[in-house]
Amino acid sequence: MKRLTQYAQGGGCACKIPAGDLERLLGSAKMPRPRDPAAELVVGLETGDDAAVVRTQDGAVIISTADFFTPVVDDPYDWGRIAAANALSDVYAMGGRPVVALNLLCWPPDLLPYELASEVLRGGAEVAAQAGCHLAGGHSVTDAEPKYGLAVTGTADPDRLLRNDTGRPGLPLSLTKPLGLGVLNNRHKSTGEVFPHAVETMTRLNADASRAALAAGIGCATDVTGFGLLGHLHKLARASGVTAVINASAVPVLDGAAQALREGFVPGGSRRNLDWVAPHLDRGDVPEETLLLLADAQTSGGLLVAGEIPGAPVIGELIENTGHTLIVRS
């Protein structure tokens, strides 16, 4: 049996459909409005936010999201933990609390024993339990590539949502996890080297960061996953009608990530991310290597918060719109 990551063409959030292709796909799809809807849609497709939000007729706010991906590490238990933390992150990025989740499992039984799938599910269940979120069933299909994730439902205070379209000039930008997960995961896939600090980062829930943002009165945030810091910040700045300035030297990076990038372990998704934001980017004299790290496709990355919270470095600020959504300075 090959290593788990060798059964998938991509890995983690780097296997997403490219951001530009996805926006064209969604833009061309006809989405009819529901007849006599049971709830008011508060956050939908328009700004590309992290999850859907509806308000029911009795005033309750429900957050709904789904996220799954191919193996990002060879250990099935760790893959389950990472995929679950990543899916739960969308609820935290909206300022909500996950309530119940459903497993989403695709499995090639002719290639991989079900004992490995059991370990994947065990990892997901442990992280859901840590989050205080019920894990109740789900759906499974046979597939040529293994895939796992969760569909998650959460709740939130209607007056305390975190959104990507509420950024304002003058707000600082804070990042709660270091970058570099994409290149380290790609190195792991290519060489089998294990990076425990990357696994720890990916399995760490964004619950504390979300609560800290709400406690600080912050209303604008997103999480940093497959479209990289630059991609998700571009979406935030575009939705908010502002320009985001990043001080590259202030952005935290995982140990070993810069070396992995220099040695060529760059996911195709990271390069596509940079190509997507390039027309909207004022890069000055910042080198390509730095930009690739800023565009690195993260799996279960941190929260990007328009405001300051304890323990999170400030990496830039939002300013009045300059015509670019992004400015990167050394």
Q: Which residues are catalytic?
A: 13
Phi and psi angles of residue 69, each rounded to the nearest 5 degrees, phi first: -160, 170
Q: Which of 258, 1, 280 is nearest to 113 (CA)?
A: 1
The answer for residues whose C-beta is within 8 angstroms of residue 7's C-beta and 6 or more apart is: 70, 71, 108, 111, 112, 145, 146
Q: Which of 131, 70, 144 is nearest to 104 (CA)?
A: 70
The answer for residues whose C-beta is within 8 angstroms of residue 32's C-beta and 6 or more apart is: none
**Residue 288 near residue 141, CB atoms below 8 Å:** no
Burial of 85-118, coded b for 16+ CB within 10 Å and e otherwise, reads bbbbbbbbbbbbbbbbbbbbbbbeeeebeeebbe
